[in-house]
């Protein structure tokens, strides 16, 4: 929240005023714990984050706690705040963050690390936990908490895994300890799924992630805050399932969110009714790692269409398989409003898709796009990666060949509409992520990655194609931070102090400054990125138990080098990945009506 006299001086004043529809405002004097929930990126991104919305709802259901939102101000607002000596405050009541009891910071993405430091700095808090004697205890969570070591010095604790249940335990311990810092940390260290660096030695502890067993029973925000200004995902959000067992070997989400858990159709329908009634949105976006894998997806879509079609409320499917069934689903929801259609083959050749366990055949993609073109779509989006383990030059060129086949499928299927065909091709660079079979693999350095991009660009069809590459510098940096240890904290702090804040690459994150920050700590960014890790070496995240055993990951790496695919455990025998230790129903899905 900014003072009124500054609102006319910033580009997006609506991001800083609060008072949105469905906001929860409590009297700070009537609650025992004030929880500031921060997203270390701008309002447009942070307000779209479903995890933050869930925690906001759960905490504010408690009569003894108040949860208030904090986002990273944009560069113009940060400058004005620093010039005027204004400290960062919550949107709900304008309470200075430094006066809250707990500050929770979502670590969704490695390039948000400097944004987290900016949150602390703008709040007037010391960056290092060891230097903080007052103010809120700082807790990190989200996907990057599965390797918290690069940012350990800045945080008092980390929640590993699902936060719905453990967040209440954090609050209870805080109350019982009457807010005394050392006593609170001692109590938090006893909780399952909570890593307290000052109390846990990574060489001796093992922190096992929190897993929600029954997703259907978990609270979900049915009256979410409606923003004043447009946000990235400005629509109703309905989480239909969590987890994926398809086993793509590059995919961290498919590991750290196992097993698959579903909400029942009746639960989802009731939630949708309440969300639309409380917000006025005209679109419902179904959230899952793969919507088409939800076991009752057809029944759910039919129920939602029957409920909302006459109100002109559409249903969106942001994640789909690469098959004709997904196109059939897309056709069903297009009865109200036609949205975009995205497929992710990931690799251009069958050999490489087998290696990464992406079980998609060329025919699957071509049948799917042909069905889409025949159904009236003229634009589709395709996601690929370059730099994958086992990749050869011919695999990169195969991407261009596959895109050409997609164009030819359009020529055959679209008739007179063919001139309107557009294929948007997005190509990311491979990033080895912790807790995946590829966590040990080397990453291409910037020069190698740019060479692969140039090779592909030279062969990519020109007509009907829009080609977009992820920034090579950004990809390399993300990979280094993802697999880094505690020694990177000094690098991150130096980069922050040199002006690298946020992940808007061209605007605020200068690759040269990051390289200089690494160099000052005696590290070469490219050399760190390009190193293969030994199967036997201790990894910085090995004390974090994500539920999937290291031995399973090792076997999957071996199968990758052999070009062997591993089936989805829901469609065959148990693969003994390790999740049986943490869940009562595995690999079965919870959600039968």
Per residue in 117-162, pLDDT tens? 999 999 999 999 999 999 999 999 999 999 999 999 999 999 999 9
Backbone angles phi, psi at 141, to 5 degrees: -155, 175
For the cut 90, the answer to whether the pLDDT of residue 15 exceeds it is yes
102 in Cβ contact with 140 (< 8 Å)? no
User: Residue 511 has what pLDDT?
Assistant: 87
Pure H helices in 12-163: 43-46, 50-61, 75-84, 113-122
Which residues make up the CATH 3.40.50.280 domain(s) of the chain? 4-208
Q: What percent of the chain has pLDDT over 70?
A: 97
By CB atoms closer than 10 A (0-12, 13-18, 19+), residue 567 is middle
SS3 of residue 72 by DSSP: coil
Cα→Cα distances 396→37, 390, 452, Å: 42, 11, 7
Beta bridge partners of residue 286, listed in sequence order: 238
Report pLDDT for 587.
Answer: 57
Mean per-residue pLDDT of the chain: 93
In this predicted structure, the answer to whether residue 590 has a pLDDT above a threshold of 50 is no
pLDDT of residue 427: 97
CATH fold of 235-487+523-579: pyruvate-formate lyase- activating enzyme (3.80.30)
**Which residues of the chain form CATH 3.80.30.20?**
235-487+523-579
pLDDT tens for residues 380-424? 999 999 999 999 999 999 999 999 999 999 999 999 999 999 999
Q: Which two tokens stand for residue 565?
A: 């695919």
Cβ burial 547-560 (10 Å sphere, 16+ → b, else e)? bbbeebbebbbebb
Percent of the chain with pLDDT over 90: 84
Q: Put the strands of the sheet holding 157-159 in their side by side order.
A: 65-71, 33-39, 102-106, 137-141, 157-159, 194-195
Pick from 464, 460, 466: nearest CA to 401: 460
* Per-residue tokens: 465: 């194609």
Strand ranges in 119-227 using DSSP code E only, listed in sequence order: 137-141, 157-159, 194-195, 207-208
Residue 289 has pLDDT above 70, yes or no: yes
pLDDT tens digit string along 556-565?
999 999 999 9
What CATH fold (topology level) applies to the domain 4-208?
A: Rossmann fold (3.40.50)
Structure tokens at 489: 């904290």
- What pLDDT sits at residue 508? 56
The tens digit of pLDDT for each residue in 508-539 reads 568 889 999 999 999 998 888 888 899 999 99
Task: Please determine, for residue 94, whether its predicted confidence score (pLDDT) is greater than 90.
Answer: yes
Q: What's the rounded mean pLDDT across residues 98-112?
A: 96
pLDDT band at residue 589 using 50, 70 and 90 as cut-offs: very low
Q: Which H or E run contains 477?
A: helix 472-482
Question: Can you tell me the mean pLDDT for 264-290?
Answer: 96
What is the C-alpha separation between 498 and 481, in angstroms, rounded? 17
Q: Could you give the CA distance from residue 206 to residue 212 in angstroms, rounded to a whole number?
A: 19
Q: What is the sign, positive or negative, of the torsion defined by CA atoms of 45, 43, 279, 24?
A: positive
Kind and range of the H or E element at 475?
helix 472-482
3-state secondary structure 505-524: HHHHCCHHHHHHHHHHCCCC
Cα within 13 Å of Cα(368), Cβ side: 25
Residue partners of 550: CB distance under 8 A and separation at least 6: 542
The answer to whether residue 4 scores a pLDDT higher than 80 is yes
């Amino acid at each position: 929240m900014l003072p009124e006299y500054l609102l006319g001086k910033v580009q997006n004043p609506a991001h800083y005023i609060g008072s949105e529809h469905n906001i929860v405002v409590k009297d700070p004097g009537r609650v025992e714990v004030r929880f500031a929930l921060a997203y270390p990126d701008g309002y447009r991104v942070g307000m779209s984050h479903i995890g933050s919305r869930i925690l906001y709802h759960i905490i504010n259901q408690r009569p003894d706690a108040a949860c208030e939102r904090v986002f990273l101000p944009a560069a113009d607002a940060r400058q004005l705040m620093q010039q005027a000596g204004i400290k960062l405050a919550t949107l709900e009541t304008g309470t200075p963050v430094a006066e809250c009891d707990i500050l929770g910071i979502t670590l969704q993405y490695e390039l948000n690390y400097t944004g987290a430091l900016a949150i602390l700095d703008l709040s007037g808090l010391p960056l290092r936990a060891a230097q903080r004697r007052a103010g809120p205890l700082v807790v990190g969570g989200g996907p990057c908490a599965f390797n918290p070591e690069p940012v350990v010095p800045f945080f008092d604790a980390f929640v590993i895994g699902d936060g719905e249940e453990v967040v209440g335990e954090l609050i209870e311990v805080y109350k019982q300890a009457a807010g005394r810092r050392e006593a609170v940390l001692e109590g938090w260290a006893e909780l399952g799924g909570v890593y307290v660096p000052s109390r846990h030695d990574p060489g001796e502890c093992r922190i096992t992630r929190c897993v929600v067993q029954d997703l259907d029973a978990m609270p979900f925000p049915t009256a979410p805050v409606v923003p004043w200004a447009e946000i990235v995902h400005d629509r109703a959000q309905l989480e239909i399932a969590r987890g994926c067992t398809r086993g793509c070997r590059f995919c961290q989400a498919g590991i750290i969110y196992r097993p698959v858990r579903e909400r029942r159709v009746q639960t989802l329908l009731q939630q949708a009714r309440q969300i639309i009634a409380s917000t006025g949105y005209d679109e419902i976006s179904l959230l899952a790692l793969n919507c088409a894998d939800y076991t009752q997806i057809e029944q759910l879509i039919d129920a939602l269409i029957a409920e909302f079609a006459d109100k002109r409320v559409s249903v969106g499917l942001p994640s789909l398989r690469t098959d004709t069934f997904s196109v059939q689903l897309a056709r069903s929801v297009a009865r109200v409003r036609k949205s975009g259609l995205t497929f992710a083959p990931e690799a251009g050749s069958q050999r490489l898709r087998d290696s990464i366990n992406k079980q998609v055949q060329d025919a699957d993609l071509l049948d799917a796009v042909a069905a889409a073109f025949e159904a009236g779509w003229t634009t589709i989006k395709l996601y690929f990666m370059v730099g994958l383990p086992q990749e050869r030059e011919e695999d990169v060129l195969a991407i261009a060949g596959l895109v050409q086949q997609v164009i030819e499928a359009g020529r055959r299927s679209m008739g007179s509409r063919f001139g309107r065909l557009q294929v948007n091709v997005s190509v990311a660079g491979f990033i080895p992520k912790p807790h995946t079979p590829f966590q040990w693999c080397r990453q291409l350095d910037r020069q190698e990655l740019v060479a692969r991009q140039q090779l592909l660009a030279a062969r990519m069809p020109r007509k009907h194609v829009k080609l977009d590459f992820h920034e090579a510098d950004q990809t390399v940096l993300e990979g280094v931070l993802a697999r880094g240890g505690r020694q990177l904290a000094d690098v991150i702090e130096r980069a922050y102090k040199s002006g690298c804040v946020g992940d808007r690459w061209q605007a605020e994150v200068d690759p040269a400054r990051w390289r200089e920050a690494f160099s000052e700590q005696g590290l070469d960014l490219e050399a760190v990125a390009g190193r293969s890790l030994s199967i036997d070496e201790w990894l910085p995240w090995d004390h974090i138990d994500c539920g999937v055993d290291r031995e399973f990951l090792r076997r999957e790496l071996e199968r990758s080098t052999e070009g062997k695919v591993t089936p989805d455990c829901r469609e065959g025998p148990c693969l003994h990945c390790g999740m049986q230790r943490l869940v009562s129903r595995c690999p079965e899905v919870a959600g039968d009506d």
